[in-house]
Chain A
Amino acid sequence: MNTSTGYAPRNYKIVKHKDKTLLEVAMGPHHPSTHGVFRMDVKLDGETIIDLIPYFGYLHRNHEKLAEDMTYFSTMPYTDRLDYLCSMTNNWAYALTVEKLANISVPERAEYIRVIIGELTRLVNHMLLVGFYINDLGAIGTPLLYALREREKILDLFEWASGARMMCNYLRFGGIREDVSDEWLASCNKLVDAFPYFLDEYDQLLTGNEIVISRSQGVGVLSKELAINAGITGPMLRASGVNYDLRKTDSYSIYDRFNFRVPLGQFGDCYDRFMLRLLEMRESITILKQALRDIPKGEIQSKVPPVLKPKPGEAYGRIESPKGELGFYLVSDGSVNPYRYRVRPPSLINLTLLRDLCIGHKLADTIIIFGSIDIVLGEVDR
């Protein structure tokens, strides 16, 4: 079997071009469209990109080393700030890993509430991406504000349940922090019932739009083999046609009880990644309806010692976060602090192929490709 020399980047050595007519532009840390502090040095020939070098590290807060000095429990609020747009799925991945490490079980009601919150977070993230993607295309904010209007309703639900809109710190080892009332569940039901109308409105406005189609189809095409080899996960992988969704393969938590489908793309370009997120939102609505129908009564957190000292061991736990496979690798040596705490950031791994996807396209396409990869700098830099 071809051992991947076909997947290695072409001409990776960064050499100075002898032709002095190339323009080198740093799309620098301060830029309206780089979704955070992120820098790309592009070499332009007219408008075509010859080379692109990304620079990260502007938001590096050394989260992993901080966690080695804190107890397992104190790190939970810090995980909110990794992918700051979907805070509760970060909490979930961390809680899952610690529960694997220390063999803690989770009661039923807590699992259902985790699934509800997780799918609501997926809706929040995908709406933000879809809105910002069209904003990057140039529609000066109209679809973005429609998407944010819907997102506000979900953030109100988060505030009701956990006290905060974004940095929720809601999950605990063995369950969740606080129970949700029946009114919350009724409110959630109402939102879930009204949501498909928004998706239909978006579909009607945008997916048939000539300009959106001509600017995103054929741009940034990602082949299946390269995507698998580069460790890409999440909607970006599924847009290239690979059937790999951790909710189905790993069946972590209680996802095997829900009946949902996994949409797959065909060409792997920006349009497919955009459409896939719209389709995934519909699947999240199905899961939410089933979870809200079946949620039992019960307790919400199992008994966990106040200071957690797991036995020496290691665990790698991962979930399907809205951006990809978010994994935590914990090594414990029996004390209250983890010996090694590592976050596997989906945004960083998905960025591996930015250079490959952008070379040969125009400057305007870089922003679109970058937007469709869907990164959050808090996760890339930790």
Chain B
Amino acid sequence: MQDTLNLFVMNIGQWLSANLGTLNNPDQIIVEIARWLRTEFGNWGVVGFILANLMATVPLIAVFSGCFALTTWLERKGLGRIQNRYGPNRVGPYGLFQPMADGIKMLLKEDIVPERADKIGHFLAPVIIMIPAMTGLVFLPIGRNIIAASIDSALLFFFAIGSIVSLSVFMAGWASHNKFSLVGGMRAIAQLVSYEMPLILSAVVVVMFVGSMNTSVIVEAQQIKSWVTSDAPALQCLGQVLGWHVFQPWGLMGFLLLFVSALAEANRSPFDLPEADSEIIAGHLTEYSGFKYALFFLAEYVNTFAIIGICTTLFLGGWNGPNIRPPWSDDPQALLIPGFVWFFLKIFVLMGIMIWIRGTLPRLRIDQLMGFAWKFLLPLAIINLLVAGCFYHMEWYFGWPFSILILCKSYAIVVRLNKSKLVNSNRTYTYA
């Protein structure tokens, strides 16, 4: 059975190699195209030079804007189904052209600026929120050798740029000259700044373990090298999956902390207090209409993608997935299914979980939100750091039970410390 399978695959591989040029590395198809384009542009002089440099950024923006469109469709459909109704189903088959319709509507709307608003601030706020959101996408390793900028301090850069978002949100709230927007902006600043701490501390664990802040190095470190370079396909599959950091005890805790902080950084439910729909009608976005609102929306989603991307890169293995090495290839690092398939799959799964959480949970109040960040997530993140350090230096037979014990105990202690003494959860209702 194994032999016939091998023979079959080798025949296809030979056919592919014969007809599509050298396809030694199926997962490097984009890299091959890019290299071919770059050699073409090299012959075009200055224009070619500019185009070659744009070749890294324009596809990135295009692809993630496409992801954004798909996500808005997915969110509306998903929320609709959770709420026992259809989502949009008129505009295309299953409503797939709805984002296009939304985009056209947003572009055609009148741009209303309040009379006493701070015009410069009001205009610049959407621009300033777009820039860090898009810049954050640059550090995501989408596949092997597919990364827009491979910098040695990528993670640091990412978090530094990501905090500009809070500045822009407050700018929007202040410049609108509206009390509701101001309240929304103040809440947003408090929330975004508080949740930076657990976010960064959960990410630092991985840096400590891997030893580098470069995102491609972090992804490559999540493969079990000895298994991946062996010859059995089963071991190659498992080696790509079981090495993910999420399967280590400190990694699981770190992933959960990072995911919850990501929900808060992206202003999504249950932390969507700045744009709380039922209290301060859209918060800092109240006075924005038309294309500026669309830009805010786009920037929020792209920021979400960037943070989810960092989540998958650090803990879920980035572009690793159950891949096997194609048997016809002679490159020891080639993979059959391209890495970007796994990357986008993981991003959409996490996005789906975020949509699911949004449809299910009510939102927290501001003091509960801050209490959650400072008194719950932060101690757990620090303890996680400690546990990861111990794990690194102990043998595996001490490491696993020790870390699981410490993490569970500390979780229980933090939960007990945070229980409010005022309310009584077990209520009895008498009947007269």
Direct contact of A and B (CB under 8 A): yes
Please give the residue numbers on chain A whose beta carbons come within 8 Å of chain B beta carbons, in ascending order. Answer: 23-25, 31-33, 44, 46-47, 134-142, 145-146, 149, 209, 211-215, 217-218, 243, 245, 248, 261-267, 271-272, 275-276, 279, 362-365, 367
Shortest Cβ distance from A237 into chain B, in angstroms?
Answer: 12
Give 21 CB contacts A-B under 8 Å: A23-B182, A25-B179, A25-B183, A32-B277, A138-B270, A138-B362, A138-B363, A142-B82, A142-B359, A145-B84, A214-B423, A215-B364, A215-B365, A217-B422, A218-B422, A243-B432, A263-B429, A263-B430, A267-B427, A364-B276, A367-B279
Q: Are B362 and A139 in contact (CB under 8 A)?
A: yes
Other-chain residue from A25, A44, A145, A212 in contact with B362 (beta carbon distance below 8 A): A212
Q: Is B27 an interface residue (CB 8 A)?
A: no
Which residues of B are at the interface with A, using a C-beta cutoff of 8 A? 79, 82-85, 179-180, 182-183, 186-187, 269-270, 272-273, 276-281, 358-368, 420, 422-425, 427-432
Top 4 nearest A-B pairs (CB, nearest first) are A138-B363, A217-B423, A137-B362, A243-B432
CA distance A141 to B83 in the complex (A): 7
A136 to B180, CA, bound (A): 17
A24 to B179, CA, bound (A): 8
Chain A residues contacting B272 (CB-CB under 8 Å) are 138
* Separation of A134 and B360 alpha carbons in the complex (Å): 11
Contact of B427 with A364 in the complex, beta carbons under 8 Å: no
Which listed residue, A33, A146, A217, touches B278 by the CB 8 Å rule? A33
Whether B362 contacts A264 by the Cβ 8 Å rule is no
Output the nearest chain B residue to A207 by Cβ-Cβ distance: B427
Contact A139 B360, CB 8 Å, known A25-B179, A263-B431, A264-B431: yes
Given A140-B79, A211-B270, verify A266-B428 contact (CB < 8 Å): yes
Q: Which residue of A lies closest to B366 (CB)?
A: A47
Kindly list chain B residues whose C-beta atoms are within 8 Å of the C-beta of A212: 362
Kindly identify which residue among B361, B420, B427 contacts A139, using a CB–CB cutoff of 8 Å: B361
List residues of chain B with CB within 8 A of the CB of A271.
427
Interface centre among B187, B360, B422 (most CB of A within 10 A): B360
B363 touches A261 (CB 8 A): no
Are A214 and B427 in touch, CB under 8 angstroms? no
Q: How far is the CB of A208 from chain B (nearest CB, A)?
A: 9
| Chain A neighbourhood of B366, CB < 8 A | 47, 362, 364
Is the beta-carbon distance between A362 and B367 smaller than 8 angstroms? yes
Given contacts A142-B82, A211-B363, contact A32 B281 (CB under 8 A): yes
Residue of A at shortest CB range from B85? Answer: A145
Q: Bound complex: CA of A89 vs CA of B299, how far in Å?
A: 50
CB pair A134 B424 closer than 8 Å? no
Which one of B360, B424, B430 contacts A217 once the chains associate, using CB atoms below 8 Å?
Answer: B424
Q: A212-B362, A264-B431, A275-B429 are in contact. List 6 more A-B contacts (CB 8 A).
A: A23-B183, A138-B276, A142-B82, A146-B83, A243-B432, A264-B432
Q: A140-B79, A367-B279 are in contact. Are A217 and B431 (CB under 8 A)?
A: no
Shortest B80–chain A CB gap in Å is: 9
Query: How many angstroms from the CA of A286 to the CA of B264 in the assembled complex?
Result: 45
Kindly list chain B residues whose C-beta atoms are within 8 Å of the C-beta of A248. Answer: 432
B180: which of A25, A264, A364 is its contact (CB, 8 Å)?
A25
Kindly list chain A residues whose C-beta atoms are within 8 Å of the C-beta of B420: 214, 218
| A134 and B182 form a contact (CB under 8 A) | no
Assembled-state Cα–Cα distance A215/B269 (Å): 15
B417 to chain A, nearest CB (A): 15
Q: What residues of chain A lie closer than 8 Å to B186, measured between beta carbons?
A: 46
* Pairwise interchain contact A140-B183, C-beta atoms closer than 8 A: no
| Min C-beta distance of A239 to chain B, whole Å | 9
Bound together, the chains give a CA A211 to CA B270 distance in angstroms of 9
Which of A25, A276, A279 has the most CB atoms of chain B within a 10 A radius of its CB?
A25
Contacts of B360 in A (CB 8 A): 139, 142
Query: When chains A and B are docked, how far (Å) is the Cα of A32 from the Cα of B280?
Result: 9
The listed residue (B82, B273, B423, B429) touching A276 by CB distance below 8 A is: B429
Given contact pairs A142-B359, A262-B432, A275 touches B427 in the complex (Cβ within 8 A): yes
Q: How far is the CB of B260 from chain A (nearest CB, A)?
A: 13
**Distance between Cα atoms of A16 and B333 in the complex (Å):** 74
Q: Which residue of B lies closest to A141 (CB)?
A: B83
A146-B84, A365-B365 known; A279+B278 contact, CB < 8 A: no
> If A32-B281, A140-B269, A145-B84 touch, does A266 touch B429 (CB 8 Å cutoff)?
yes
Q: Which residues of B contact A139 (CB under 8 A)?
A: 359-363
When C-beta atoms are compared, the residue in chain B nearest to A214 turns out to be: B368
Chain B neighbourhood of A362, CB < 8 A: 365-367
Residues of B within 8 A of A23 (CB): 179, 182-183
Q: Verify B182–A272 contact, CB threshold 8 A.
A: no
- By a CB distance below 8 angstroms, the chain B residues around A267 are 424, 427
The CA-CA distance from A212 to B270 in the complex, in Å, is 12
Q: Residue on B with the closest CB to A283?
A: B431
Chain B residues with CB below 8 A from A272, complex form:
427, 429
Chain B residue at smallest Cβ distance from A30: B281
Residue of A nearest to B359 (CB): A142
Report the minimal beta-carbon distance from A364 to chain B, rounded to whole angstroms. Answer: 5
Residues of B within 8 A of A25 (CB): 179-180, 183
Q: Chain B nearest CB: distance from A63 CB in Å?
A: 30
From B371, which residue of chain A is reached at the shortest CB distance? A214
CA distance A275 to B424 in the complex (A): 14
Which residues of chain B have C-beta atoms less than 8 A from A142's C-beta? Answer: 79, 82-83, 359-360
Closest to B423 in A: A217
Complex Cα gap A187–B327 (Å): 67
Name A137's closest neighbour in chain B (CB-CB): B362
Contacts of A365 in B (CB 8 A): 365
Query: Nearest-CB distance from B278 to chain A (Å)?
Result: 4
Q: Which residues on the A side are within 8 Å of B269 (C-beta)?
A: 138, 140
Residues on the A chain within 8 Å of B183, using CB = 23, 25, 44, 47, 363
How far is it, in angstroms, between the C-alpha of A218 and the C-alpha of B281 when the chains are bound? 25
Q: What CA separation (Å) do A186 and B229 show in the bound complex?
A: 71
Closest to B282 in A: A32
| B361 contact set on A, CB distance < 8 A | 138-139, 209, 211
Q: How far is the CA of A149 from the CA of B83 in the complex (A)?
A: 10
Decide: A264 and B429 in contact? CB cutoff 8 A: yes
> Do residues B362 and A211 form an inter-chain contact, with CB atoms below 8 A?
yes
Cα–Cα, bound, A215→B367 (Å):
10
